[in-house]
């Protein structure tokens, strides 16, 4: 019965968030009680619809994750959600650029790599001499 409850919990998290991190997969198996409390906190602070729309929240979350130099995969998952909620690749890039003066070029570069992987941007190569 417990395994069925854990699976249902993870499935519901995925439906509500649109993503699941490896952290969630491990914690549901190893410390389910903690994950349930953590999930309630995340709902109150982030995923529950309040004043900010989902697109805005995802852009903000992307910038924060970039500023703290989270993993590229984590940042990329929130960029994809921002895009799914209607953000343009230019809006996300512009938001990431705000990280440069506030958090440093190295922090921006982590977010930029995630952005490149999420949107497959165009490139202009230098001319060959």
Full-model pTM: 0.81
- DSSP codes, 69-102: T--HHHHHHHHHHHHHTT--HHHHHHHHHTHHHH
Helix (H) or strand (E) holding 19: none
Above pLDDT 90, what percent of the chain?
80
Q: Tell me, what CATH number does 60's domain have? A: 1.20.1290.10
pLDDT of res. 62: 97
Whether residue 88 is contained in a domain is answered as: yes
Whether residue 127 is contained in a domain is answered as: no
Whether residue 11 is contained in a domain is answered as: yes
Confidence of residue 1 (pLDDT cuts 50, 70, 90): low
- The answer on 36 and 21 residing in a single domain is yes
The count of structural domains within the chain is: 2
């Amino acid at each position: 019965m417990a395994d069925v409850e854990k699976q249902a919990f993870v499935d519901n998290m995925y439906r509500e968030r649109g993503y699941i991190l490896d952290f969630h997969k491990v914690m549901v198996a190893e410390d389910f009680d903690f994950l349930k409390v953590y999930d309630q906190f995340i709902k109150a602070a982030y995923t529950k619809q309040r004043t900010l729309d989902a697109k805005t929240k995802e852009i903000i979350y992307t910038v924060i994750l970039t500023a703290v130099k989270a993993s590229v995969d984590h940042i990329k998952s929130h960029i994809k959600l921002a895009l799914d909620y209607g953000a343009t690749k230019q809006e996300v890039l512009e938001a990431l650029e705000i990280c440069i003066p506030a958090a440093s070029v190295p922090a921006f570069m982590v977010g930029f790599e995630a952005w490149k992987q999420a949107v497959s941007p165009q490139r202009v190569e230098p001319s060959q001499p």
